Amino acid sequence: MSESTPVIAVQGLTKHYGGVKALTDAEFRLNPGEHVAIVGDNGAGKSTFVRLITGVEQPSRGDILMDGQPVAFDSPLDAREQGVETVFQNLALAEDLDVPANIFMGREITRLNLGPLSILNHRAMRAQSVEMLSTTGVKIQDLSEPMRGMSGGQRQCVAIARAAGFAKKLIILDEPTAALGVQETARVEEIIRGLKARGVPLIIISHNLRQVFDLVDRIYVFRQGRIICSRLKSETTPEEIVGLITGAIDPASLPQAEATTC
């Protein structure tokens, strides 16, 4: 496999719900170690794109390649087993389970591995949960309470801690700091920088352009169900990105810099 084989490449990816064209002919690639942002107005198709590449939903048409090989994930669990961790916009946590059970769902630590009769190592999972959550800076008094009673920010931190802790091949964050306070947002941004240092590729969806320009290498702009442009951060500005999002700037009018596709 060559150095330049993308971690993930998407060709012609399309999802139509009856007459609603949520995503049409999306072309996307993420290079090894790269961090990219996806930006666009509400309803532009960003979460649809994430659901398609993580197996939550199946595309109407189009191809997804990971490390150059076609993939078709049946479910987010299938994607996780292959190293793709996602924090979904709706979080996908089990309301009735506590924090360690949510963090270790599907990869429980056992004291004795007897298949379905395995004895779970609750102490180890609890200790690791405390450690993983500490990276987000969130305060949760009692980890053994079910998720149901937790705030939006606490839930978001549990989902982020889980994804960052287990991500091997790729991490996808759909508006990860939307419900977070200033300090928790700063901690999550530190986690993202740590993933960059570890070489874990990342896709972040965010409406916060300050955050986008602080964190990523490249920006994909979604507009009305299409990917209209990809811009290297070093070759664009927040004003240009806003113009692309709103339609005030026509992507065809931009200079075609190297490694920047529009």
What is residue 14's three-state secondary structure? strand
What is d(CA 76, CA 89) in angstroms, rounded to the nearest whole number?
14
44 near ligand ATP, judged by CB under 6 A = yes
**CB of 46 or CB of 162, closer to Mg ion:** 46
List 24, 31, 47, 185, residue binding ligand ATP (CB under 6 A): 47
Torsion of CA 207, 212, 216, 219, to 10 degrees: 60
Q: Measuring CA to CA, which residue among 245, 223, 224 is closest to residue 236?
A: 245
Residue nearest to Mg ion (CB): 47
Counting every residue written for the chain, the total comes to: 262
Window 175-214: residues binding ligand ATP (CB under 6 A): none
Q: Say if residues 52 and 12 touch (Cβ distance below 8 Å).
A: no
What is the C-alpha separation between 180 and 188, in angstroms, rounded?
Answer: 9
Q: Judged by CB under 6 A, does residue 92 bind ligand ATP?
A: no
Choose between 51 and 162: whose C-beta lies nearer to Mg ion: 51
DSSP 8-state assignment for residue 168: S
Nearer to Mg ion among residue 48 and residue 102 (C-beta): 48
16-75 residues near Mg ion, rule: CB under 5 A: 46-47
Residue whose CB is less far from ligand ATP, 31 or 86: 86
Instruction: List residues near Mg ion by CB under 5 A.
Output: 46-47, 89
Instruction: List residues near ligand ATP by CB under 6 A.
Output: 17, 20, 22, 40, 42-48, 89
